[in-house]
């Protein structure tokens, strides 16, 4: 924080506003006093507005930097695992070996779902989108733990965090199993977090399923790279819902609903749709030309990023992981994946893309990895939501732990002025 000031002139009136500085990043102007002067700021999409103060995640899009509690995402992906990152996001520091073991054990002991939840799944149509099922089931968790949802209790918030992190893989895998008409697989405490998810996704009672360690490692990296991304649309939704005092399960369900949108969590699914539209390597040049034509509506999905004006730091990790997975599964010659690899090469070498910094982003590579693993595109956003739950919860927890106000955005009204109802 600083004692700098900014002066805003409105007509013949000058309004002095305080300016604050964070530890890194741009300064922010405190505009809260404007309402007393009868004016608001206008910022569609809130792209120039800091709606909160946070210590969790920092992004420098111009330089391709993503920090969780100060740790670069590349270092976390290389040296940590998803549950350790969960602890970091939630508590602010990396755990000691004893804390790490205790946290891992606690999560493992909360992975089961209440048996009545099976009936809840069976209330959905078999062809329901798995995001619809996940949104409903997560919201319904509030009906099973209604006696432990005092948002003012730090202990109850921590218990809720453990439950959500532990149960989300079970919920996600059951969404997949239900759509396929296969029996639900119960979690196993002898497996790691990522291994357990793969086991519940692909295991059956008919035979012993042993998760491939290369795929489990890749899945863990996907979880880490999607764990949090600062004040995005879904995180802001969770904070806004939480500002009303709503229970945390309802707040997380609201984040899932926001993530469902194709402009947010559906980006890696859009990558696979694009690859299917291209269809064959022989069509790539035609589609590259369409992408360069400003009058053509076709867009290359998975290239560039709204936040990162340089290379997405998560994509560097995912690129290496994608090649490991393809090599492990012997899928280097898969037709869609061949198209993806050719597009990647063009984007990294073609001057048009290099000059505009339209590099492949994390969604491009994660879509390739999930496709190679045999996960249907309808599950991509579900896995994203499962990974992002700890980020949503950490932001919600940070907000309700301090002083906060109910969210109440303003508007620029352009409708009719007061008028009388017509008589006769």
Concatenate the DSSP letters of all residues of 96-144 into one string: PHHHHHHHHHHHHTT-PPPTTHHHHHHTS-TTS-HHHHHHHHHHHGGGT
Give just the sign of the alpha carbon dihedral 367, 219, 247, 136.
positive
Order of strands, edge to edge, in the sheet holding 57-60? 57-60, 65-68, 71-72
Q: Which residues contact 126 (CB under 8 A, 6 or more apart)?
A: 178, 179, 181
Stated pTM of the model: 0.91
Contact between 365 and 315 (Cβ < 8 Å): yes
Q: State yes or no: pLDDT of 149 exceeds 80.
A: no
Q: In this model, does residue 46 exceed pLDDT 70?
A: yes
Averaged over 200-229, what is the pLDDT?
Answer: 95
> What residues pair up with 71 in beta bridges, in sequence order?
68
Backbone angles phi, psi at 82, to 5 degrees: -60, -45
3-class DSSP state of 86: helix
Of 14, 65, 46, 15, nearest in space to 232 by CA:
46
Residues 6+ apart with CB under 8 A from 54: 230, 231, 395, 398
Mean pLDDT calculated for residue range 114-134: 93
The whole-number pLDDT of residue 192 equals 96
Which residues, listed in sequence order, are joined to residue 20 by a DSSP beta bridge?
28
What span, in angstroms and rounded, lies between the C-alpha atoms of 383 and 293?
Answer: 34
Q: Which of 48-62, 216-230, 272-286 is most confident?
A: 216-230
Nearest to 77, CA basis, from 220, 211, 261:
220
For the chain, the average pLDDT equals 90
The pLDDT, as a whole number, for residue 13 is 83
Which of these ranges, 122-131, 204-213, 243-252, 285-294, has the smallest mean pLDDT? 285-294
Q: How confident is the model at residue 32 (pLDDT cuts 50, 70, 90)?
A: confident
Q: Is the pLDDT of residue 2 over 80?
A: no
Pick 194 or 359 by higher pLDDT: 194
pLDDT in tens, 92-117: 999 999 999 999 999 999 999 999 99
b (16+ CB within 10 A) / e for 207-227: eeeebbeebbbbbbbbbbbbb
Q: Phi/psi of residue 19, each to 5°?
A: -120, 130
The count of residues in the chain is: 424
pLDDT 10s digits, 228-280: 999 999 999 999 999 999 999 999 999 999 999 887 877 777 888 888 889 88
Instruction: Give the residues across from 132 on adjacent strands.
Output: none
Largest interatomic CA distance in the chain: 79
Question: Above pLDDT 70, what percent of the chain?
Answer: 99
For residue 288, what are its two tokens?
């590259």
Confidence of residue 344 (pLDDT cuts 50, 70, 90): confident
On the question of pLDDT at 307 being above 60, the answer is: yes
Residue 78's SS3 state is: helix
Model pLDDT for residues 352-394, shown as the tens digit of each residue: 888 888 888 888 888 889 989 999 989 999 999 999 999 999 9
**Is the per-residue pLDDT at 148 higher than 80?**
no
Query: What are the catalytic residues?
Result: 264, 305, 363
- Which range among 31-40, 233-242, 284-293 shows the weakest confidence by mean pLDDT? 31-40
Among candidate residues 194, 167, 196, 148, the one with its CA nearest the CA of residue 106: 167
By the 8 A CB rule, do 209 and 176 touch? Answer: no
| pLDDT band per the 50, 70, 90 thresholds, residue 1 | low
| Contact between residue 138 and residue 253 where contact means Cβ atoms under 8 Å apart | yes
pLDDT at 353: 84
**Average pLDDT for residues 389-418, to the nearest whole number?**
94
Q: Is the pLDDT of residue 305 over 90?
A: no
Confidence of residue 129 (pLDDT cuts 50, 70, 90): very high
């Amino acid at each position: 924080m600083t004692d700098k000031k900014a002066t805003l002139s409105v007509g013949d009136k000058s309004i002095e506003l305080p300016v604050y500085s964070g530890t890194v990043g741009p300064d922010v102007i405190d505009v809260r006093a404007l309402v007393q002067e009868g004016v608001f700021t206008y910022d569609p999409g809130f792209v120039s507005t800091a709606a909160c103060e946070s210590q969790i995640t920092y992004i420098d899009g111009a330089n391709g930097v993503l920090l969780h509690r100060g740790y670069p995402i590349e270092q976390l992906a290389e040296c940590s695992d998803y549950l350790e990152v969960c602890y970091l996001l939630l508590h602010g520091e990396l755990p000691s070996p004893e804390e790490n073991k205790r946290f891992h054990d606690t999560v493992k002991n909360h992975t089961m779902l209440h048996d009545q939840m099976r009936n809840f799944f069976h209330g959905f149509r078999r062809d329901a989108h798995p995001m619809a099922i996940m949104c409903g089931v997560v919201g319904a968790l509030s009906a099973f733990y209604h006696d432990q949802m005092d948002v003012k209790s730090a202990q109850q918030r921590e218990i809720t965090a453990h439950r959500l992190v532990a149960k989300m893989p079970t919920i996600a895998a059951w969404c997949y199993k239900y759509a396929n008409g296969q029996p639900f697989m119960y979690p196993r405490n002898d497996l790691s977090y990522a291994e357990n998810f793969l086991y519940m996704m692909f295991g059956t009672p008919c035979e012993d399923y042993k998760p491939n360690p290369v795929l489990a490692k890749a899945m863990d990296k996907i979880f880490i790279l999607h764990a949090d991304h600062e004040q995005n649309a879904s995180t802001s939704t969770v904070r806004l819902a939480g500002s009303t005092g709503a229970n945390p399960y309802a707040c997380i369900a609201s984040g899932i609903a926001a993530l469902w949108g194709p402009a947010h969590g559906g980006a890696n699914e859009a990558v696979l749709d694009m690859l299917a539209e291209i269809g064959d390597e022989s069509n790539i040049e035609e589609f590259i030309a369409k992408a360069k034509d400003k009058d053509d509506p076709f867009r290359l999905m998975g290239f560039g990023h709204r936040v990162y004006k340089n290379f997405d730091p998560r994509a560097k990790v995912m690129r290496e992981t994608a090649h490991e997975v393809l090599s492990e599964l012997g899928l280097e010659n898969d037709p869609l994946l061949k198209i993806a690899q050719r597009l990647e090469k063009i984007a990294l070498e073609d001057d048009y893309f290099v000059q505009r910094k339209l590099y492949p982003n994390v969604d491009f590579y994660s879509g390739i990895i999930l496709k190679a693993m045999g996960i249907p595109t309808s599950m991509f956003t579900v896995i994203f939501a499962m990974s992002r739950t700890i980020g949503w919860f950490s932001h919600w927890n940070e907000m309700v732990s301090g002083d906060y106000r109910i969210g109440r955005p303003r508007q620029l009204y352009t409708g009719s002025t007061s008028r009388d109802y017509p008589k006769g």
